[in-house]
Amino acid sequence: MDIIAVHDLTVGYGNVEILRELRFSIPAREITAVVGTSGCGKSTLLKTLAGLLPPLAGKVLFRSEPVDFLSEASLGSIFRGIGVLYQDGALLNNLTLFENVALPVRMRHPDLPETVLRELVHDRLNQVGLLHGAAKYPSELSGGMRKRGALARALVTDPAVVLCDEPSSGLDPITSGRLDELLLCLRDDFGMTFVVVTHELRSIAKIADRVLIINEGRLHLSGGLAEVMGSDDPFVQTFFLRKVDHDDA
Amino acid sequence: MGGREELQKKLANEGAFLYSTGSQDSKEEPGVEEESADVVVLPRRLLAADIPAAFRKIEARREEGGATVDFGGVEEFDSTTLALLSYLRSRSSDTRIINVGEKLGRSFEVFMGGTPPAAFAGPELDLPIRVLHSFSDRFLTQMRKAEKFFILLSDEITHTASYLRERRGVYPGEIWNQVFFMGNKSFPITCLLIFLVGVTIAMTSAAQLKLYGADIYLADLIGYGMLRELVPLMLGVILAGKVGAAVAAELSTMTVLEEVDALRTMGIVPERYLMVPRLIAITITVPLLVALADCVGILGGILVGRITLGILASAFIREMFTAVDLGDFLIGLVKSVIFGWAVIVGAGFKGLTVGRSAGEVGRATTESVVLSISMIILIDCVFAVLTY
Residue type, B85: L
Ranges of beta strands (E only) in B195-351 are none
Selecting from A51, A91, A110 the residue whose C-beta is nearest the C-beta of B168 gives A110
**Contact with chain B for residue A115, Cβ under 8 A:** no
CB contact under 8 A, A246 and B258: no
**Cβ-proximal residues to B20 (8 Å cutoff; 6+ apart), any chain:** B26, B29, B32, B72, B98, B99, B100, B101, B102, B105
Of the pLDDT bands very low, low, confident and very high (cuts 50, 70, 90), residue B174 is very high
Q: Which CATH architecture has domain A2-92+161-248?
A: 3-Layer(aba) Sandwich (3.40)
Lowest-confidence region among A214-223, B95-104, B114-123: B114-123
CB contact under 8 A, B258 and A107: no
pLDDT at A242: 63
For residue B355, CA distances in Å to B145, B253, B351, B372 come to 13, 10, 9, 20
The residue of A114, A243, A246, A247 whose CB has the most chain B CBs within 10 angstroms, and thus the best one to mutate to test that interface, is A246
When pLDDT is averaged across residues A87-113 and rounded to a whole number, the result is 91
Contact A81, A159 (CB under 8 A): yes
Domain boundaries, chain A: 2-92+161-248
CA–CA separation, A123 vs B367, rounded Å?
44
Contact A118, B277 (CB under 8 A): no
Residues of chain A neighbouring B168 (CB-CB closer than 8 A) = 107, 110
Instruction: Report how many Cβ contacts below 8 Å link chain A to chain B.
Output: 77
pLDDT at B124: 65
Q: Residue B371: pLDDT above 50?
A: yes
Query: Across chain A, what does the average pLDDT equal?
Result: 88
Selecting from B4, B258, B264 the residue whose C-beta is nearest the C-beta of A246 gives B4
CB contact under 8 A, A104 and B268: yes
| Percentage of chain B modeled with pLDDT above 70 | 87
Residues of chain B that touch chain A, judged by Cβ-Cβ distance less than 8 Å: 1-4, 7, 106, 109-110, 168-169, 171-172, 254, 257-259, 261-268, 273
CB contact under 8 A, B265 and A52: yes
Contact A32, A194 (CB under 8 A): yes
Q: What's B2-119's CATH class?
A: alpha beta
Q: What is the pTM of this model?
A: 0.76
- Give B95-152 as a DSSP string: EEEEEE-HHHHHHHHHHHTTS-GGGT-PPP--HHHHHHHHHHHHHHHHHHHHHHHHHH
Domain boundaries, chain B: 2-119, 139-387
Residues of chain B neighbouring A51 (CB-CB closer than 8 A) = 264-265
Tens digit of each residue's pLDDT (9 = 90 or more) over B51-95: 888 888 888 888 887 888 888 888 888 888 888 888 888 877 788
Long-range contact pairs involving B317-326 (C-beta distance under 8 Å, separation at least 24): B317/B219, B319/B216, B319/B217, B319/B219, B319/B220, B320/B219, B320/B220, B320/B222, B320/B223, B321/B223, B322/B220, B323/B219, B323/B220, B323/B223, B323/B224, B324/B220, B324/B223, B324/B224, B324/B227, B324/B228
Residue type, B93: S
For residue B234, CA distances in Å to B274, B284, B387 come to 26, 18, 19
Residues of chain A neighbouring B3 (CB-CB closer than 8 A) = 234, 245-246, 248
| Sign of the alpha-carbon dihedral angle for B195, B198, B201, B207 | negative
pLDDT at B106: 78
Tens digit of each residue's pLDDT (9 = 90 or more) over A188-210: 988 899 999 988 888 888 999 99
Burial class (CB in 10 A: 0-12, 13-18, 19+), B324: buried
The residue of A86, A100, A107 whose CB has the most chain B CBs within 10 angstroms, and thus the best one to mutate to test that interface, is A107
For residue A208, CA distances in Å to A37, A54, A182, B70, B310 come to 18, 27, 13, 50, 86
